[in-house]
Amino acid sequence: MTDTIFASGAEQALTSLLAHLQEAHYRFITTTPLTHARVFARQPAGSATTLPDAFGWNLPFEPGLLPAQLLAALDAAGLLSRIGQQWRSKVRVSSIDDALFLHSAYPTDQENAVFFGPDTYRYVRFMQQALALAPLGPQPRILDIGCGSGAGGLMVAKQLADATLVLNDINPEALVCAGRNAQAAGIAVQLALGDSLAAVDGQFDLIMANPPYLVDDDARTYRHGGDRLGRSLSLRMATQSLPRLAPGGRLLLYTGIAIVRGVDEFLLELKPALDGAGLEWRYQELDPDVFGEELERDVYREVDRIAAIGLEARRPS
């Protein structure tokens, strides 16, 4: 059975933690797990002396780092573990601009982990740049598929006071994080638990997604992109989204694609669906080489590189 990260009643403690960190002007930029491990290796016996140490780097901390009432609330909610006389947080908090986002503690080994990392920053930047060039109309209905921490949808909705935002994920632990993050940002959201488009009704002015795209031996939900070198989930999300776009509606998809002998099989497979739906679309490589360490694994032996790509598709009005 999959371990539950958040016990019943943890929401209030998580809300209090975010409020405390906001008040303290907390900021932390989350690295890749590999970089995190390298930093740890330089100081294996380190303890937290600051809030980013404790809730960013996930180092153990002394009780005095937090107000006694908050410490007690986190402990009662099962959000801390004891390491000798110190505590260690079972969650992390990362920042994008002045917004804070709860997600899983390091390392993200659990099947139901809520991931946040450099891909999140690339995803948000892709969304912001695409929408700056072509803003949404009034009162848009927005769906963030597989939202994780909710960072993508919340950063878009932050700029749109009249948007209706639906955050979807198949992982209930992700929706706990997304709900607390939305509350902290002061953004009203609808939470939809289930498998992407099957969990929601109707059409949308914007469907956005950052699906997992790696081949994960343990098939962890936040990381495994399915068969065909991890692209099958991205292909399914993209093709299922197309008929759910309202007139003038747009799909913005950020994912990673294994390039084999110079060929992008994802684009070849997706292009007929885009053209057949009569959509205007643009496809670009945002970063030609991500997760290069994965190429050391046998499953990627024929792969040249893994590229981060952005797809923009629009249904005519």
- Residue intervals of the chain classified under CATH 3.40.50.150 are 118-314
pLDDT band at 1 (very low <50, low <70, confident <90, very high): very low
Q: Which two tokens stand for residue 193?
A: 């638990």
Q: Rounded to an integer, what distance in angstroms lies between the CA atom of residue 92 and that of residue 106?
A: 8
Pairing mode, strands 86-89 and 204-209: unpaired
Which CATH code is given to the segment(s) 118-314? Answer: 3.40.50.150
- What is the DSSP track for 17-80? HHHHHHHTT-------HHHHHHHHHHSTT---SSHHHHHTS---B-GGGS-HHHHHHHHHTT-E
Q: What is the pLDDT of residues 191-226, one digit of tens each?
A: 999 999 999 999 999 999 999 999 999 888 899 999
Q: What is the pLDDT of residues 183-196, one digit of tens each?
A: 999 999 999 999 99
- Check: CB of residue 10 under 8 Å from CB of residue 179: no
Q: What is the pLDDT of residues 141-177, one digit of tens each?
A: 999 999 999 999 999 999 998 999 999 999 999 999 9
pLDDT value of position 110: 87
Q: Which two tokens stand for residue 133?
A: 């060039």
Number of helical H runs and strand E runs in the chain: 10, 11
